[in-house]
A and B are shown apart, each in its own frame.
Chain A
Amino acid sequence: MTTLSAPGSRRAWVYIPLTMMALFYLVPLYVMLNTGFKSFDEVSLSTMWNLPSGFAFDNFRAAWEALRPNLWNSVKIVVPAATISSVLGSVNGFVLAKWKFKGANIVFPVLLFGMFIPYQAVLIPLVTFMSKIGLAGGTWGLVLVHVIYGIPITTLIFRNYFATIPETLIEAAKIDGAGIFGTFTRIMLPLAIPSFVVVYIWQFTSAWNDFLFAVVLTNTENWPVTVALNNLAGSQIIAWNVQMAASFLAAVPTLLIYVFLGRYFLSGMMSGALKE
């Protein structure tokens, strides 16, 4: 739905503010990479904007040494969490959109509200409970927490998707004798692959970027990368240039997802605002 007037001459000025804003958005990325690629000798706060004279990896190497165990912890948390979330979300979304039971329209908003709560309102019971069942401190506890607090958004994304699938398809499957299991696995799942991508990368990103749950539920050796990075940034020993490189390392996985699967990422974000 573009405007009728042709792009080009008359609209050329539009590129000036757009490009200026693009530069504003890129500043932090520039600082992270620019600092990262300087050698230790070249790093100085007063020349932080100057380009490096060559490519050095001192900072990235130091950051990698500092964060490696935590990057691995993050992977151990995020991959199972995103996988289990996708499965649960697809089941819930399917039932709430296409296998409605009496009260399904009440269950949905009840689930959905959980998406918006400030987690401070559940933190004390959560920590108490997780310690009691022996899941505090490690990575599996965090997996469970991300899966459970991810139920609202994953259910929402799948439900909105399944709602667009024509009712006749379900009816046809029922007539062919398919029960709920057959309808779900043979008809709905193959159709829902795009939603799986959306939900997977949404859960991957939010679990990777989580700080609050991780900081109260993991002990030092199980810290994911966000907690470790914050700790590193708060210490007086680690130089600012290494912090920059470390920030970039912590951001790389989700940035790569964004670069390659941006369309799906955006779709997840829009459902977060209950918008399609």
Chain B
Amino acid sequence: MAVASAEKTARPTRKSRGNFFTLQHWWGILWVLPSLIAVMVFVYGFIGWTARVSVSAWKGLLADYTYVGFQNFTDLASDQRFAIDVQNTAIFTVVFVLGCLGLGLGLAILLDKGIRAEGFYRSLFLFPMAISFIVTGVVWRWLMNPAQGDRLSGLNLVFDKLGLDFLVNSWHGTPTWGIAAVAIPAVWQMSGYTMALYLAGLRAVPESLREAARVDGASELQVYRKVVMPLIRPVTLSAIIILGHISLKVFDLIIAMAGKQVALDVPAIYMWTTTFDGFFFGRGAAIGIVLLLSVAVLVIPYLWYTLRQESDT
């Protein structure tokens, strides 16, 4: 028995290859098969189906798979509403990603100073993650109430009382830039998460490196700029990808804050309303595919890189 076990552990590769034709090997496949089939159908199969709908003339309640080529896509390219969507997504993404990165990194650096009650602060910054975008949207909708004059309320009321009148604004009611106001609650919700990513990154920087820089006469600022920042650049990259793909998909938050206003429209909402309110299935599918491709461009290289790195170690 002992000999057999020693031999087995000594040559794991040969053993597992030998395993290929055994019953045990097929058991493994059998166990993941239900999930694999479910994902193949509900993810890949449905994506293929959506792609088929996106090149069809389907309009109205009855399915119509008449092939129309890329008509739905070229229509989108000249669609005024879709142009607003793209602009809104761009503004939202910039404010949301920069806001989360800035706040997240700032908070992580402060928390990394070895303070008392670190756990307490960390939990406070992270709790919004547990709440739904719908709840966040409903509450912030009242905090960002744009009413002026004697109906002033929410944050505008605070600004007014503090004598910061110049900050009183109409929030998401602002033309063109209103979408930036919607990004504020999104930052409120996700910056704690970014903080947690950065904090883990900072903790992985060996203290000896910082100490060495200090011994060489570097100021605390230089330690961060020259030693710490370059080492946590991968964290920034993953945070940008995670946050970026969230902002491409933003949907519930805007619905809860502002309903279906065209001024605050994004592709995810356009897809929903044009498909399920307007029954323009072909167009809805085309928007879905555009969204998917933009997310895939961000995520697939990230997945590939992360998994390759994992298998190297």
Q: Closest B-chain residue to A234, C-beta based?
A: B259
User: B262-282 toward A: CB 8 Å interface, digit per residue (1/0)?
Assistant: 000001100110011000010
CB<8 Å pairs between A and B, sample of 7: A101-B26, A104-B28, A123-B271, A151-B39, A244-B138, A254-B132, A266-B126
Q: How far is the CA of A12 from the CA of B179 in the complex (A)?
A: 38
B272 contact from A22, A102, A120, Cβ within 8 A: A120
Total cross-chain contacts (CB, 8 A) = 302
B125 to A21, Cβ gap below 8 A?
yes
Contact (A121, B291) CB under 8 Å given A7-B115, A148-B39: yes
B143 to A148, Cβ gap below 8 A?
no
Q: A residues within 8 A CB of B1?
A: 175
Give the number of chain B interface residues (Cβ < 8 Å). 114
B126 to A262, Cβ gap below 8 A?
yes
Q: Which residues of B contact A (CB under 8 A)?
A: 1, 4-5, 8-9, 12, 16, 20, 24-29, 31-32, 34-36, 38-39, 42-43, 45-47, 49-50, 53, 63, 103, 106-107, 110-116, 121, 123-143, 145, 147, 150-154, 157-158, 188, 192-193, 196-197, 200, 203, 207, 211, 238-239, 242, 245, 248-249, 251-252, 255-256, 259, 267-268, 271-272, 275-276, 281, 284-285, 287-289, 291-292, 295, 299-300, 302-304, 306-307, 311
Interface centre among B5, B42, B112, B302 (most CB of A within 10 A): B42
B287 to A211, Cβ gap below 8 A?
no
Shortest beta-carbon distance from A4 to chain B in Å = 7
At the interface, yes or no: A111 with Cβ under 8 Å from chain B? Answer: yes
Q: B residues within 8 A CB of A216?
A: 272, 276
Q: How far is the CA of A265 from the CA of B66 in the complex (A)?
A: 47
A209 contact from B113, B133, B152, Cβ within 8 A: B133
Interface centre among A108, A155, A240, A273 (most CB of B within 10 A): A273
A116 contact from B12, B131, B256, B295, Cβ within 8 A: B295
Q: How far is the CA of A258 from the CA of B135 in the complex (A)?
A: 16
Contact (A122, B47) CB under 8 Å given A113-B303, A167-B12, A234-B259: yes
Shortest beta-carbon distance from A117 to chain B in Å = 6
Give the number of chain A interface residues (Cβ < 8 Å). 106
Shortest beta-carbon distance from B108 to chain A in Å = 11
Q: A residues within 8 A CB of B27?
A: 99, 179-181
Contact (A126, B42) CB under 8 Å given A18-B115, A117-B47: yes
14 more contacts with CB within 8 A, not counting A120-B288, A123-B288, A273-B238, are: A3-B113, A28-B128, A88-B34, A120-B249, A212-B251, A216-B276, A226-B134, A233-B141, A244-B139, A254-B132, A262-B126, A269-B129, A269-B193, A269-B196
Q: B residues within 8 A CB of A211?
A: 132-134, 251-252, 255
A122 to B193, Cβ gap below 8 A?
no
Determine the main DSSP class of A at the interface with B: helix
At the interface, yes or no: A247 with Cβ under 8 Å from chain B? Answer: yes
Shortest beta-carbon distance from B243 to chain A in Å = 10
A124 to B284, Cβ gap below 8 A?
yes
A105 to B28, Cβ gap below 8 A?
no
Contact (A243, B142) CB under 8 Å given A118-B249, A254-B131, A270-B200: yes
